[in-house]
Structure 1
Amino acid sequence: MPAVIIDGQVHEFHPGQTILEALHDLNIDLPSACYDPRLEPYGACRLCLVEVEGQPHPVASCNMPLQEGMVIRTHTPELEEGRKQGFRFLIGRYPKEAVERQPSKPFHERLRDYGLAEGLKAEPDPRLQDFTHPYIRVDLSQCILCYRCVRICEEVQGQFVWQVFGRGHQTHLEPSGPSLLQSACVSCGACADTCPTGAIDDWSVLELGTPTAWTRSTCPYCGVGCEFLVGTRDGKITQVKPALDAPVNKGHLCVKGRYAFAYNDAPDRVTRPMIRRDGEWQAVSWDEAIAFVAAELKRIRETHGPDSIGILGSARATNEENYLAQKFARVVIGSNNVDCCARVCHAPSAVALAQVFGTGAATSAFDDIELAQTFLLAGTNTTENHPVVGARIKQARRRGARLIVVDPRKTELAGWADIHLALRPGTDIPLFHAMARVILEENLTDPAFLAERVEGLGAFREAIAEWTPERAAEVCGVSAEAIRQAARLYATHKPSICFHGLGLTEHHQGSETVMALANLALLTGNVGQPGTGVNPLRGQNNVQGSAHMGCEPNTLTGSQPLAKARAHFEQLWGCPLPTTKGLNLMQMLDAARKGHLKALWLFGYDVLLSNPDAAHTAQAFERLELVVVQDLFMNESARAYGHVFLPAASNFEKDGTFMNSERRIQRVRQALPPAGDSRPDWQILCDVARAMGQGERFAFEGPEAIWEEVRAVWPGGAGISYARLEQGGLQWPCPSLDHPGTPRLHAQSFPAGPRATLAAVPYVPSPEQPSPEYPFVLITGRTLYAFNAGTMTARTPNTRLYPTDRLEVSPSDAECLGLREGERVRVVSPYGEARLPVHITQRVKPGELFSTFHDPDVFINRLTNPHRDRYTLTPQYKRTAVRLEKLPNASRE
């Protein structure tokens, strides 16, 4: 390694390092105001100046690359006096009150170091204060014009909220609206995180105090898996900050991960076990609750057989807890009736990718985003539903990458796209087949990859022959030329990478749609290489892990087929596994309606509110003899049909691991003790197992002991120990302790061999079609500020940013119906109705509507239909025929 001399000492450095980066590595303290490792070097504040032998003047260390043989001096009297003068220039109008109120701010600490804090005399200027935002406090009296907020909003988030106005002494910052709350801000908090002075700051710290302890953990919201630092004080969370060295989020977070943690201390959190007797919930001891659950499960098993009981794992619980849930079902109950919420979201992705590639998971790492030249985003509103990945894609687009968006709505990234294919909901298969036909007809394939790695080309070519771009255009509602352009761009501007979401999977042909997307990657060689791949963006923090741990009726831990892995598990568990075919979630509800399923234990999953066609779900719950709900709050399932409520510890109150969308396993660490009498899910499962006579097989001292058993039964995860996870996450397969993990699948071959087979899938139009009685097509989905059933986000100030679900209607449809912005309407489908306010927007096309599903008062799933994916039974949330009815004397909201 090359070497330099710093303050008389010889030091080696890494090529490409700046002087300041090397000084930080050496723990040589140097002030800087405009520097942030997440940003491009700026060199404006001049506080980090150093002397370099041979240079006529001091240089800014933050943007000066190190060179072999440099001789550097960092703290000469001249440099220190220059820094002091630099600070004096920055604090000409700085308020003394700010330093006294927040002494731990980095800038304030420096002022004390240089003896300048006591000389401040200015007062805060109310004209420069903006206290409208629920999370972010703005007082630009404290602004020193380091421009870190401007740059991080542009370079990391890509939102361009903070803008510079004026020149010279008149230079100042303003948000892109009348206030920060009314601007383009998406509340990611990056500006508050980087601000060295507190000019932009977190309300939570100002109100609850500076954290006295920090715990590194993983976000409990979407499947991106951002790592963060949880700051606590006096038994409460007061701040969350991004981990700067996290490989997934690289020092960034979204509004939910950074700010939406107040649910942990929500006043309606349930922290004592309860049993419902004579229609009333009664608090009981844990001993009584455990004994009641165990006795009821035994009774039902003995009376109706083990297959009369179902267990639902949780995408919000850890890998260890989901592993125990499926083990409990199979060992304690004796049934394969175990599933999780992956059934209603990305089960089609797992089945499709397993069928085409051999592994039912993302083929790439998020770091392939920075290597890709073209993005194909299909059915994913990425910047809202997976915001940090969306921001990384947005930055890649700004650097010149090309972008194709396939989505009925004009999402934010659709506005950035080279090509936006705004197809009709559920017509993706004709679109992808037409793109494939163009690629074949115009010889845009990767011939070498096809010859070596792909088979079934002849049958595939014949199957898609009818799908000319013109025919697909008629079905999809997009132009034939746009289809051709998208095919050419994806095939030729390589490497190309695909990300897809629930807009592909939640249809009656969800699995086949993902297969059709995977065909494009095989035809063009866009799989297994840097910057390529086909990647489902998983919705919840551990939905990938819950299914992968075995919370599925036909697979065991590691997604190992039950029939193939049975002997291995029986040997390790020391007991036989059930032989009857298990039921998935949708089949369990069907069986309950018929009176065959008698008991359901669900945790971290509000089935009644989340599942489609709520009337049918309610009918299933009504016939159950035992409903055990394990959660943080009295959710809709518990409120209406629960018999027992078991209070669970939150993600901040327990240890374990999560698995994100890119197959990365990361640590979850306890930052707080469990609230009240709540317990971690793993402990509750072990307690019930013990009460049912299976204590020896559930005698775990903690999550790490559970994980050691996971490693023993899952060869692909054998090399992922807690000790290794202390240094960061690992992507499976990782079969041994000396294996580095596998960021990218299928580099040389596929699990079944050297070749993958193209999927010649047919197109079958959805049975859910608009009609004169129901002329609109309703699409449901998520928003940035709310999450799933709202269990967590609805108990945070996020409700000020997004108060309730609303119905997006095109301007032309609104005009025809005489609707005004904010007016409440009745939405009616063949399955139910809901009432909610209207939002008139160009984001949806005429004849199509969009709504989120987060508010239980709206309960949008009263509307959604019973149709299911033909392979996995995943519900068709994304296409329901409805009509709108204007309410008499409707109020605006």
Structure 2
Amino acid sequence: WEEALHIAAQALNERVKEQGADQLGMLASPSATLEELSLFNQLAEGLGVSNIDHRLRQTDFSGQAQQPLFPFLGQTIEELEQANAILVVGGNLRKDQPIIGHRIRKAAMAGASVMMINPVDYPVTYKLAHKSTVAPSHMVQSMAGVAAALLQSRKARAPEALQAIIDQTLPNDTEQAMAATLADADNAALLLGLDASMHPAFSTLRAIAVLIGELSGAKTGFVSDGANSAGACLAGVLPHRSAGGTARETSGLDAAQMIEQPRKNYLLLGIEPEFDCANGAQALAAMQQAEFVVALTPYVTDTLREYADVLLPSSTFAETSGTFINIEGRWQSFVAASRAPGDSRPGWKILRVLGNLLELEGFDSISSEQVRDALSEQLGEVKLDNTACGDAVTPASPTTGLERMASLLPYAVDNIVRRAESLQLTPDGQMVLLRLNPDDADALSLADGDRAAVMQGSHSVTLEVLVDARVAKGTAVVPQAVEATRALGAPSGTLQVRKA
């Protein structure tokens, strides 16, 4: 341990001095504990590094300066079940966030009108009031239709940044009905799910969601990736904001840019970039070309051994004390449930020692509680507001051809569940398939059980076909974060598909 920590600290220090802080990229898991994330940010600031991020699966960072302090639900989890109208955009909440899905079901059972705009007609255990199942690139258009209907009913104009999108949209009957349902409700909610946050036009979806909320009175909320995205944001694991949302003097590269513009050095906290980043193939290439990589990780693989120069064995969340902050802003601290195997250590302790070896200030805590309390004192009272929205939106025009929708399977979300053999044997674990709408399958002469070659750019993989009427026409559902599709790269874009 002593040798590994000294090598890591010395190399990071020397490389930052010789190559510049800009050549170090720091990527953290959104499921790391608050204490680990806080010390990770302190380490970055001590080294003068701004290239730090936890939003590994996000691809659109436009207008990030105007994003909420953290992905906030817009209300408490308990309050959600009191809503009488709920619109979910880009989310399979029953699988992505089962507790949120359960609360929505309770609202539906009590008479709430639940509506969905999704690229897949995800199954739910209640009757939907309205649904729009459209290809990913048409989701912006569908949301714009709801906003346009609300604007028409109020004889109002869209904000200037959204006029080009909304003014040319003619709402269809479903979008008109969704708008009326939200406007007529006295307690409405609009939630952007995980598919929305990974969408290539996320900034536009967010801007339209805020507008719909303002026009209808609906509470706008976000359902985030990982167990602790809120904690990561508050701890300052962002390239443009430090702890508590304070703007950095100089913004660094976001998670996608750190992969697209490879750095010479990387420090990784609890992640496998080839699975956890939006573009796994590109992330792996970035790691392989790097001169020096330090990884704090509870697991080791042959791939990780190939690109990591120093491996620091860290505990999983169940083997350390720590804190998660949920999407309503509630701090939830816990103690270790089991002893960590071998000689692995809690991530916060590893980061504390690295900070000490680098002779940085603020690394003298002797317990995770001290790290948590120091951050809590620094943050003070946190104000939550989802209504702020910048005018930087990503244009989104409907795509021609078969679009990739990179689903995130529930048992592929992190390095722990990916290794749970029993979970991989469940129906959800077995969905490593190419899912196509029947019309698209017919056009390609594909049937259930066929093998298909799936090409994205210069990359190709072979997958078994599942013909599924729940998939929007023009959409190919191809999972991400799994070995079988890692070579494809980007989570969105046009695919070429043919029988293998």
TM-score > 0.5 by shorter chain: yes
**Aligned twin of 2:169:** 472
1:650 aligns with 2:316: yes
Question: Contact (CA 8 Å) 2:313, 2:343: kept in 1 or not?
Answer: yes
2:433 equivalent among 785, 794, 806: 806
Question: Contact (CA 8 Å) 2:105, 2:126: kept in 1 or not?
Answer: no
> What is the DSSP-based 3-state SS (H/G/I as helix, E as strand, rest coil) of the residue aligned with 2:425?
helix
1:369 aligns with 2:80: yes
Task: Map residues 118-197 of structure 1 onto 2, 5 A cutoff.
Answer: none
**Aligned twin of 2:497:** 884
Distance 1:461 1:849, change over 3 A: same
**Aligned twin of 1:115:** none
**Aligned twin of 2:329:** 663
Q: Using the alignment, how far apart are the partners of 2:232 and 2:390 within structure 1?
A: 27
**Which letter does structure 2 place at the counterpart of 1:882?**
L
Q: Using the alignment, how far apart are the partners of 1:829 and 1:650 within structure 2?
A: 34
1:382 aligns with 2:93: yes
> What is the DSSP-based 3-state SS (H/G/I as helix, E as strand, rest coil) of the residue aligned with 1:539?
coil
Task: Map residues 825-836 of structure 1 onto 2, 5 A cutoff.
Answer: 825-836=452-463
Q: Using the alignment, how far apart are the partners of 1:514 and 1:460 within structure 2?
A: 14
Question: Contact (CA 8 Å) 2:240, 2:251: kept in 1 or not?
Answer: yes
Distance 1:831 1:712, change over 3 A: farther
Return the index of the structure with the highest Cα Rg.
1
Q: 1:798 Cα deviation (Å)?
A: 0.7
1:627 equivalent among 293, 300, 310: 293
Question: Contact (CA 8 Å) 2:89, 2:118: kept in 1 or not?
Answer: yes
1:602 aligns with 2:268: yes
Q: 1:389 Cα deviation (Å)?
A: 1.2
1:583 aligns with 2:253: yes
Question: Contact (CA 8 Å) 1:460, 1:759: kept in 2 or not?
Answer: no
2:366 equivalent among 679, 686, 701: 701
1:815 aligns with 2:442: yes
Distance 1:812 1:466, change over 3 A: closer
Question: Contact (CA 8 Å) 2:273, 2:280: kept in 1 or not?
Answer: no
**Which letter does structure 1 place at the counterpart of 2:448?**
E
Q: Using the alignment, how far apart are the partners of 2:132 and 2:342 within structure 1?
A: 51
Partner deviation per Cα, 1:452-489 (whole Å, 9 max, x = no partner): xxxxx656389648846xx636xxxxx71111111111
Q: 1:342 Cα deviation (Å)?
A: 5.3
Question: Contact (CA 8 Å) 1:613, 1:862: kept in 2 or not?
Answer: no
Q: 1:539 Cα deviation (Å)?
A: 1.8
Q: Using the alignment, how far apart are the partners of 1:816 and 1:713 within structure 2?
A: 59
1:794 equivalent among 404, 419, 427: 419
Q: Using the alignment, how far apart are the partners of 1:486 and 1:414 within structure 2?
A: 20
Q: Using the alignment, how far apart are the partners of 2:147 and 2:114 within structure 1?
A: 18
Q: Using the alignment, how far apart are the partners of 2:54 and 2:254 within structure 1?
A: 8
Task: Map residues 36-435 of structure 1 onto 2, 5 A cutoff.
Answer: 286-331=1-46, 333-341=47-55, 344=58, 353-354=67-68, 361-413=72-124, 416-435=127-146
Question: Contact (CA 8 Å) 2:437, 2:472: kept in 1 or not?
Answer: yes
Q: Using the alignment, how far apart are the partners of 1:430 and 1:710 within structure 2?
A: 41
Q: Using the alignment, how far apart are the partners of 2:292 and 2:389 within structure 1?
A: 46
**Aligned twin of 2:347:** 681
2:246 equivalent among 546, 560, 565: 560
Question: Contact (CA 8 Å) 2:70, 2:230: kept in 1 or not?
Answer: no
Task: Map residues 846-861 of structure 1 onto 2, 5 A cutoff.
Answer: 846-856=473-483, 858=484, 860-861=485-486
**Aligned twin of 1:535:** 221
Structure 1, unaligned runs of 5 or more: 1-285, 445-456, 474-478, 527-532, 564-579, 717-731, 734-744, 751-755, 866-876, 888-893
Distance 1:352 1:787, change over 3 A: farther
1:485 aligns with 2:180: no
Distance 1:810 1:415, change over 3 A: farther
Question: Contact (CA 8 Å) 1:611, 1:861: kept in 2 or not?
Answer: no
Q: Using the alignment, how far apart are the partners of 2:207 and 2:317 within structure 1?
A: 35
Q: Using the alignment, how far apart are the partners of 1:461 and 1:487 within structure 2?
A: 21
> What is the DSSP-based 3-state SS (H/G/I as helix, E as strand, rest coil) of the residue aligned with 2:455?
strand
Structure 2, unaligned runs of 5 or more: none
**Which letter does structure 2 place at the counterpart of 1:598?**
K
Q: 1:433 Cα deviation (Å)?
A: 3.0
Q: Using the alignment, how far apart are the partners of 1:672 and 1:311 within structure 2?
A: 28
Structure with higher helix content: 2
How many matched pairs? Answer: 498
Q: Using the alignment, how far apart are the partners of 1:465 and 1:817 within structure 2?
A: 35
Partner deviation per Cα, 1:381-418 (whole Å, 9 max, x = no partner): 11111112112211211221101101121111397311
Question: Contact (CA 8 Å) 1:604, 1:631: kept in 2 or not?
Answer: yes
Q: Using the alignment, how far apart are the partners of 1:847 and 1:293 within structure 2?
A: 48
1:551 equivalent among 237, 247, 258: 237
Question: Contact (CA 8 Å) 2:56, 2:278: kept in 1 or not?
Answer: no
Distance 1:541 1:345, change over 3 A: farther
RMSD: 2.9
Q: Using the alignment, how far apart are the partners of 2:158 and 2:431 within structure 1?
A: 49
Q: 1:503 Cα deviation (Å)?
A: 2.6
Question: Contact (CA 8 Å) 2:130, 2:178: kept in 1 or not?
Answer: yes
Partner deviation per Cα, 1:478-531 (whole Å, 9 max, x = no partner): x711111111111112311011113323233211210111101111223xxxxx
Question: Contact (CA 8 Å) 2:58, 2:198: kept in 1 or not?
Answer: yes
Partner deviation per Cα, 1:277-316 (whole Å, 9 max, x = no partner): xxxxxxxxx1111121122212312321233222222212
Partner deviation per Cα, 1:613-653 (whole Å, 9 max, x = no partner): 44433432233111111112125761441112111111111
**Aligned twin of 1:691:** 357
Q: 1:419 Cα deviation (Å)?
A: 0.6
Question: Contact (CA 8 Å) 2:22, 2:51: kept in 1 or not?
Answer: yes
Q: Using the alignment, how far apart are the partners of 2:469 and 2:477 within structure 1?
A: 12
TM-score by length of 2: 0.91
